[in-house]
A and B are shown apart, each in its own frame.
Chain A
Amino acid sequence: MSKPTIQALAQSHRAFTAIDDGKSFTVKCVLHTLGLLALAWLVLPVRADFSSAFSQLTFHAENIGWVIVWGGSLVGFYRSSFPTGHGRVIGVVVFTTLALLAALSLTQFDPAGAAHEFAGELDLYRGRCGFIIAGVSVVYATLLGSWARNAAPVKPHITGFYAALGTSAFGCLLMQVVCSHHNPLHMLIWHFVPTALMCFAGQVAGARWLRW
């Protein structure tokens, strides 16, 4: 019977407040972001061609795209951390933006020099972007995940996915300032693929770590 359980639970009941509202979550996110930005400022060099890139329209379009993916994913993460949270519209916005970012990179694709470019992209130094994106994502997503463990995500894999996507998008945004290689193959291999891998890892980790 449930009656004794109800009585026992009621006996242990104390006054409580909701885990979080949107405002305090936003404040936490801003603090995490500022911390990571400060760390990045100390460790990562600004790209040599930053001033010339700053005058290009595509640079700003890409930045806006990554900001939308980052912010949208964090909203999706926050919403999916609660039992009644829905993130369908957010999902559409985030994936459409990702598709536009990929399309924007592909418009600069030159098939003639692809083989030569591909050989260059296999260099580990060029691949540091991928490792930085993954590193930033792991640190940031762990902070978010530790918050979500106190919440009640009913689809923990989705929560983990959004955490990984949002944090990887933040890493990609950071790389806009750090990485001077913006050819489509580089973007695909060392920016988009690590993001996709982190999303997969986030989904798996979320399903295991965020279960309650």
Chain B
Amino acid sequence: MSDTLLPRKSVEDKLKHLFVSAATGDRQAYEGFLELSMVVVEKYLAFLGHRYLSHQALEDLKQDVLVSLHEKKHTFQVQRPILPWIYAITRYRFIDFYRQQKRVPLMVAWDEGHIVAVEKSLSPDWEDLVSLLSPKQKEMFQMIKIEGESYVDTARALDVSVASVKVGIHRIMKALKEKVKK
């Protein structure tokens, strides 16, 4: 896209012009604004370090940013520059995305010097990894790491002590890490 080659000032002016037109209800201008914003967002995500994300996760993040720009468009104050506004929303979504990723079970693999976050559903080795675990370990792993249950609740559900759950999870994680390293 030729917009990627535009200098910062031109991008700022063009975005602002499109945004002001879009504010009056011009859908075409709004589409143009979102398209150009996406170019800016992609560049900024590269700067923030999106290389640590898988392709699918990056696409999800870009969609999140896009929807956020759309939902919060009324928070832009026209007298201010627009690029910092886009950057701020992108940065917020980027951080939020990483926080959410922490809550979602991820397997972390080492790939050519980069940490690649491989989502559970996309990981081809996931079944192999889980097959290492005993039925009780699977249940424990499912409750703690996937459903996010507490140690106490898991211990109560599995009728074991809390200490056993903690040790069990530690052993499971160790076994999975070793398997991933191989």
Contacts and interface: CB of A to CB of B under 8 A. Distances in A.
A82 B77 contact: yes
Interface of chain B, main secondary structure: helix
B25 A13 contact: yes
Contacts, number: 78
B98 interface: no
Given A6-B38, A83-B89, A14 B25 contact: yes
The SS class assigned to the A binding surface is loop
B88 A84 contact: yes
A107 interface: no
Interface string A1-27: 110011101110111111101000000
Size range of the chain A interface in the assembly: 20 to 34
Contacts of A90: none
A10 B70 CA distance: 9
Contacts of B25: 13-15
B67 A9 contact: yes
A7 B77 contact: no
A212 interface: yes
Contacts of B114: none
B75 A9 contact: no
A5 B63 contact: yes
Interface residues of B, number: 35
Contacts of B68: 152, 212
Contact of B34 (A9, A15, A17, A154): A9
Contact of B31 (A7, A14, A18, A19): A7
A151 interface: yes
Interface of B: 22-25, 27-28, 30-31, 34-35, 38, 59, 62-63, 66-68, 70-78, 80-81, 84-85, 88-89, 91-92, 96
16 contacts: A2-B38, A2-B66, A7-B31, A9-B30, A9-B67, A10-B30, A13-B22, A15-B25, A17-B23, A17-B74, A18-B76, A82-B77, A83-B84, A84-B88, A152-B75, A152-B92
Interface of A: 1-2, 5-7, 9-11, 13-19, 21, 81-84, 151-152, 154, 211-212
